[in-house]
Amino acid sequence: MSPPPILYSFRRCPYAMRARMALWVAGIAAELREVKLAAKPPELLAVSPKATVPVLVLADGRVIDQSLDIMRWALAQRDPEGWLGGDHPALIAVNDGPFKHHLDRAKYPGRYGDDDGTDHRAEALALLEPLEEQLEAAPFLTGKRRALADIALFPFVRQFAAIDPAWFAAQPLPRLQGWLDALLGSDLFAAVMPKFAPWQAGDPPVLFEPR
């Protein structure tokens, strides 16, 4: 039997989060290596010079170091909930591009020379309004059930809402807020969020194993 793939991850990273959720739904076990971002292990740097998580190292040595590629690879192996049918590249591109740009500056204004990040918060909010409209037709972004687009966007919307939960709750986005609450309260989200100590060479393997 081939060894499981190795997943370099960081619990709170939204990119790593969506990769873990896809692997879990696909039923793919992996050896989880939690990364401390301030002290990245040389093993991670050796397989992926970009040195950002997530990184999936397959048993045959292939390396997948983009979160969406990990999601799509996992679901190509097994897709019990039909997530690939709910892929939505246009929504994901807005999320990963302009929304993430404004999210970072709203969450960490001091890093970007802003006083308080409120302008970027307003810009990010404006980019969420089309999602509210998208959810008029169904409880999830591409239909009645969660799918790839939902999970690709969810960790970033979660991060945005957490900047100021009371403020976010007061925005006129009831469908999006309900969507977020449903995903936050899901068994899937709980399953991929246990805390692990940062990995270092010689540690016993930690198996990330869907049940």
Q: What does the DSSP assignment read for 41-67?
A: -HHHHHH-TT--S-EEE-TTS-EE-SH
- Can you tell me whether residue 89 is helix, strand or coil? helix
CA distances from 75 to 68, 70, 94, 129 (A): 11, 9, 22, 29
Retrieve residue 210's tokens: 């869907």
CA angle, residues 14, 19, 24, in degrees to nearest 5: 125
Q: What residue ranges do the domains of the chain occupy?
A: 6-82+190-208, 83-187
What's the predicted TM-score (pTM) here? 0.96
CATH superfamily of 6-82+190-208: Glutaredoxin (3.40.30.10)
How is domain 83-187 classified at the architecture level of CATH?
Up-down Bundle (1.20)
pLDDT in tens, the chain (211 residues): 789 999 999 999 999 999 999 999 999 999 999 999 999 999 999 999 998 999 999 999 999 999 999 999 999 999 999 999 999 999 999 999 999 999 999 999 988 877 788 999 999 999 999 999 999 999 999 999 999 999 999 999 999 999 999 999 999 999 999 999 999 999 999 999 999 999 999 999 999 999 8
